[in-house]
Amino acid sequence: MWQNAHDAYIESRIYSADPVELIRLLYQAGIASLRDARRHLANRDIVARARAISKAGRILAELTTSLDHERGGKISRGLARLYDYMSRRLIEANLQQADGPLEEVLGLMSTLAEGWEGLQTAAKEEPRAASPWAQSPFSDPAPSYESRIAVSF
């Protein structure tokens, strides 16, 4: 019963989330899956470990497909390479039943999540005029956070 309520809550968060929030949710789910995989590895639960690693891999695939290489430029291409590297390390972890690659990918994903949180915080703090007419015609408007991120939604 609690699982159904939790699933409904998560589903409502996903459907009501804006695109930036969706990326944050993907990072959170990826981190949780990697932690689960490490725990299952330590407990020698092969099936659960493989399931958690597969989930983390699917999340990386989703993050990869969300990249907008046209608008994101070098950042987007760099993230694509990093996601690919992380995916290969997950395969290695699963095949070798090794914790090292899981720990590495968890560290990378945690760092990316922290950076994403920083972007969200900066975007929320960025002053915005109520309308374009409220800005001085003599000053350049600050670039919006949308132009600084490397993913499309």
Digit-coded pLDDT (tens) for 36-81: 999 999 999 999 999 999 999 999 999 999 998 999 899 999 999 9
* pLDDT tops 90 at residue 127: no
Residue 16: what residue type? S
Domain that residue 69 falls in: 17-117
Domain count for the chain: 1
CATH number at residue 62: 1.20.120.340
Is 87 inside any structural domain?
Answer: yes
DSSP 29-77: HHHHHHHHHHHHHHTT-HHHHHHHHHHHHHHHHHHHHTB-HHHHHHHHH
Is 53 inside any structural domain?
Answer: yes
- 123: burial class by Cβ within 10 Å (0-12, 13-18, 19+)? middle
Is 113 inside any structural domain?
Answer: yes
3-state helix, strand, coil in the chain (%, to 5): 80, 0, 20
